[in-house]
Structure 1
């Protein structure tokens, strides 16, 4: 497991967290290359199903980055996201994946260094936890190619 590089998905609010990620890049701050940033119109649009599907699709860890509490461009989106992350963590604990593989953070657009710090800290956490149990179960879903995904 010494060569384990976790696959991590970061769902980022367009207005704040994604801008912080952009700032981190502009500042040439170093953070792990295994973070897959997904831009969301608002962290409140991150549904529980989407969080769980990220694990099903092979993520070892997932985090949601929203605006600072009280500063959401859609008023309460970040509070909605926080509640959904809390519910998804309970589900992950119940099904044996582990709620510690999912987290919620709040950032402003000016917090590029904090974005990079979160990416490093979360990657270290997931490295310590090891690969997702979903990957270890026989017959478990592995990373799907676009042609394997089924549209509802």
Structure 2
């Protein structure tokens, strides 16, 4: 189990968190390469179906990061995201999926250090949980595609 390296699917807001990831890379802040980054226009545009699909297809954890409250380029997209993922996290826990597999954060484009710190924290927490044993059925729309 000590050699286990988790796969983390990371949804980053284009305007803030993606910029922080870029700054962390350019500044050579250290964090493990376990993340697969998906750049989205806004954290509010991420559907819970996208998170469930990531878990179903083998991700050990999911991390969503967006603009700080009040700084969203789409006015209140990050508030929508916060509400959606609070409910989703509770639903996942109710269905037996550890709450530590889903993470949410607010990181601005100037916070490269914070990005690296949170990335390390997310990866460490998911590593401690071990490989995901997620059994989520596909929805009828997804199986038809």
Both structures adopt the same fold (TM-score exceeding 0.5): yes
- Alpha-carbon shift at residue 54 of structure 1 (Å): 0.8
User: For residues 68-147 of structure 1, what are the structure 2 equivalents within 5 Å?
Assistant: 68-134=68-134
Partner residue, 2:11: 11
- Alpha-carbon shift at residue 150 of structure 1 (Å): 5.3
Where structure 1 has 5 or more consecutive residues not aligned to the other structure, the ranges are 142-148
Contact 1:51–1:88 under 8 Å retained in 2? no
RMSD: 1.6
Question: Normalising by the residue count of structure 2, what TM-score does the alignment of the two structures yield?
Answer: 0.91
User: For residues 18-57 of structure 1, what are the structure 2 equivalents within 5 Å?
Assistant: 18-57=18-57
Contact 1:31–1:120 under 8 Å retained in 2? yes
- Alpha-carbon shift at residue 99 of structure 1 (Å): 2.0
CA deviation profile, 1:66-121 (whole Å, cap 9, x unmatched): 00111000011111111111111112112211222101100111001111111101
Equivalenced residue count is: 141
**2:38 alignment partner, SS class:** strand
**1:12 alignment partner, SS class:** strand
**2:71 alignment partner, SS class:** coil
Question: Normalising by the residue count of structure 1, what TM-score does the alignment of the two structures yield?
Answer: 0.87
